[in-house]
Chains A and B, each alone.
Chain A
Amino acid sequence: MGEVIVVTSGKGGVGKTTTSANIGCGLAVSGKKVALVDADIGLRNLDVVMGLENRIVYDLVDVVEGKCKLKQALIKDKRYAGLYLLPAAQTRDKDAVSPEQMKKLCENLKEEEFDYIIIDCPAGIEQGFKNAIAGADRALVVTTPEVSAVRDADRIIGLLEANELNDPSLILNRVRTDMVEKNEMMSMDDVTEILAVDIIGVVPDDESIVIQTNKGEPAVTVESSKAGQAFRNITRRIMGEEVPFMDLKEDDSFFTKLKKLFKK
């Protein structure tokens, strides 16, 4: 039975779409059958991040309205076996779909024997958010180490729990380790202490994300990319593996050692 995972954040621009693309791609590379669903109706972007923008014929709203079959709208990514994209409609608005229809869509995708269905949620807490979470079994909350983003994440976590999506996992994106070391940026520990949720990944701020997004190829497949490595780790954790938090842990211990040295 497949699992529906919604990637959400509240605040815009923290990296939901990039996270969705990388996790989806990472899971597919690991041999899973994955459907990426762009739930941001009216502002579709996942297709561009995935480099599949030229292959769209039908979209999510067409499927929901019965204008085409689900299989017709699913774009097969030729680069990665088992990866499919269901694009959002660009010329419609969020009210074109209801939470009930999204629930049904998720059930239909499960019947297509997908192992994972990743839903890229729009920013905000209105209709689009309600649609995106309707059929989800599990939620990933993306945030960055900024007051505004963490505040919105806290609100989203509350709303997810009100909708019976308990125990969401947190992804802390765009961390600058050099700044964390100088205590000029909140650390993973700071954010998890405040939000009191489990963290499933810390992604460093990395140029390779910009470069790979420019090309339309997720960074998760780039061996040398640090952010790519972080997304590979997140992918493994989603599949149930225990993977230590390599990069930042090392920096953290170094930082605490340094702090201790100065305290003496």
Chain B
Amino acid sequence: MIGLFDVLSFLRKKEPASGSVAKDRLKLVLVHDRANCSSQVLEMLKGDIIKVISNYMEIDEDELDINITQTRSEDNNGTVPVLYANIPIKSMKRKSS
């Protein structure tokens, strides 16, 4: 499946038309605007998540990626905002007790 997709996109080669790019960018901007979630709030959230997870495992803080994006909702064909987090683990902490 993935192989076929790669071949197809290779054959196409062309960048997507700017109209589609604009639409995608706009959708993402509005997800943030409507969620009323500023980058400061996101930074605070990021800090809290690091604090909590660090109690259990050692994570790579520099590579940590947290974002609000959107995904297709399961009920209908619309989209819903999701909190996306990619947190690379360096090592698991052993319980000291």
Contact = CB atoms under 8 A, between A and B. Distances in A.
Does chain A bind chain B? Answer: yes
B76 to A, nearest CB: 14
Chain B interface size band reads 10 to 19
Contacts of B20: 183
A246 to B, nearest CB: 22
Chain A interface size band reads 10 to 19
Given A146-B22, A154-B34, A194 B27 contact: yes
Taking chain B's interface residues, is the majority helix, strand, or loop, or is none over half, making it mixed?
Answer: helix
Interface string A176-187: 000110111111
A187 B25 contact: no
A184 B19 contact: yes
Interface string B2-40: 000000000000000111101101110110011000000
A24 to B, nearest CB: 31
A155 interface: yes
B36 to A, nearest CB: 10
B17 A182 contact: yes
Interface string B51-65: 000000000000000
A151 interface: yes
Given A147-B29, A154-B34, A194 B23 contact: yes
A223 B27 CA distance: 38
Contacts of A194: 23, 26-27, 30
Which of B18, B20, B26, B29 has the most C-beta atoms of chain A within 10 angstroms of its own C-beta? B26
Interface of B: 17-20, 22-23, 25-27, 29-30, 33-34
25 contacts: A147-B22, A147-B25, A147-B29, A150-B26, A151-B29, A154-B33, A154-B34, A180-B19, A182-B17, A183-B17, A183-B18, A183-B19, A184-B17, A184-B18, A184-B19, A185-B18, A185-B19, A186-B22, A186-B23, A186-B26, A187-B19, A190-B19, A194-B23, A194-B27, A194-B30
